[in-house]
Amino acid sequence: MKTYELIAPCHFGLEAVLKKEIYELGYEITKVEDGRVTFEGDAEAVCRANIFLRTAERVLLKAGQFHAETFEELFQGVKSIPWENYIPEKGKFWVTKASSIKSKLFSPSDIQSIAKKAMVERLKQKYHREWFEENGAHYPLRIFLMKDEVTVAIDTSGESLHKRGYRTLAGRAPITETLAAALILLTPWKRDRILVDPFCGSGTFPIEAAMIAANIAPGLNRSFTAENWTNIIERQLWYETVKEAADLVNTDITVDIQGYDIDADIVKVARDNARRAGVEQLIHFQHRPLNQLNHPKKYGFVITNPPYGERLEEKEALPGLYSEIGEALLRLDSWSAYLITSYEDAERYIGRKADKNRKIYNGMLKTYFYQFLGPKPPRRDHAGKNQN
């Protein structure tokens, strides 16, 4: 089976998490860059990466790479790519996004327009046609320029992979599903440990945690653009991958995952989202304010996305809010807490310096993933009893 170079973009700062996921799927990584991991795989890998990867934003099939400092070089470079190997005669193709960093060519609209013309010229020669209906399967392209190196790739995913299909409504400042999954995977949390999100909003952290615990592949209940690329990927491969994912699901598990929020309406939304994700029985959602955050058990995890104060009127409330977070962590003195926020005074008002701090870009917003580590629980013997 033909092997391709596949590119998986992700959030800046979380490349290592995605890299580990790709290795665990069994594929060889060829390059890791800021916000992007490249790996080798066949047509089946396109299906499996789309369905199984929790932290990738999409899966791109690399069509070509070349150097270009002028629009003529861009045109000739795109034209030299064997588009007839990817796009059938009736295929619909366009450049959905072009980005340029530290390159002489920087106008996205011009890059998009010239690339499209070059593709048309190539396919005219190959298919001996002057005009294309473009009423078949969709082949959206993405072009990246970095220091005059041009990478041209076809988007196999379509809608971003953070759209799992379960979240129809979100809170005022939602965290994406891919970012939530990546942050959970950055922690040592496992399904036998308690997890609480006291600012759960529409439920993304608890739902992603429950999906990880139950081994529910994030792309199991959605579709992908490349499903219609029957010239590249046999439809049977999609059916087989979906069956592989479905066979791995195990919701017959005991977990303690909880989500609280001060907004009763958004808690109802979270419950609905969990039901659509197939994990409502694994999560306990509750309308509860932060000052009631407590738990009788030890060694749990708080993983949360507290308010950042992006609006001016909210900024004034942040010192009090983060002080409350600090008080809650004192009550949960054997727990570990992980907070993502752009609030730079978070540690000051929590009253404790984080044991670890990771800078992560949430879109264009610079955020910090503060990690307050609690004591490790006692090791268990083979009978499941705690050892002293």
Which of 11, 33, 58 shows the shortest CA–CA distance to 366?
Answer: 11
Q: How far apart are CA 189 and CA 185, in angstroms?
A: 8
The two tokens of residue 144 are: 């990246």
Q: How far apart are CA 275 and CA 347, in angstroms?
A: 35
By CB atoms closer than 10 A (0-12, 13-18, 19+), residue 91 is buried
Task: Supply the pLDDT for residue 384.
Answer: 53
Which of 74, 57, 83 shows the shortest CA–CA distance to 113?
Answer: 74
User: In the chain, count of helices (H) and strands (E)?
Assistant: 11, 14
Task: Supply the pLDDT for residue 213.
Answer: 98
Q: How far apart are CA 68 and CA 74, in angstroms?
A: 5
pTM for this entry: 0.94
Q: Which residues does the chain have with pLDDT short of 50?
A: 388
The two tokens of residue 216 are: 């529910």
Provide the H-helix boundaries in the chain: 15-25, 43-52, 71-79, 108-127, 177-186, 204-213, 235-248, 264-277, 312-315, 318-331, 346-350
Which of 306, 365, 350 shows the shortest CA–CA distance to 172?
Answer: 306
Hey, what amino acid is at 338? Answer: Y
The answer for residues whose C-beta is within 8 angstroms of residue 24's C-beta and 6 or more apart is none
Total Cβ atoms within 10 A of residue 265:
11
Task: Supply the pLDDT for residue 217.
Answer: 98
Task: Supply the pLDDT for residue 60.
Answer: 98
Bridge partner list, 5? 40
Task: Supply the pLDDT for residue 320.
Answer: 95
Q: Assess contact for 36 and 8: CB atoms under 8 A.
A: yes
Task: Supply the pLDDT for residue 388.
Answer: 42
CA 32 to chain CA centroid, Å, is 16
* pLDDT one-digit tens code per residue, 336-372: 999 999 999 999 999 999 999 999 988 788 999 999 9
The answer for residues whose C-beta is within 8 angstroms of residue 200's C-beta and 6 or more apart is 206, 259, 260, 261, 267, 270, 285, 304
Task: Supply the pLDDT for residue 379.
Answer: 80
* pLDDT one-digit tens code per residue, 15-28: 999 999 999 999 99
Task: Supply the pLDDT for residue 179.
Answer: 97
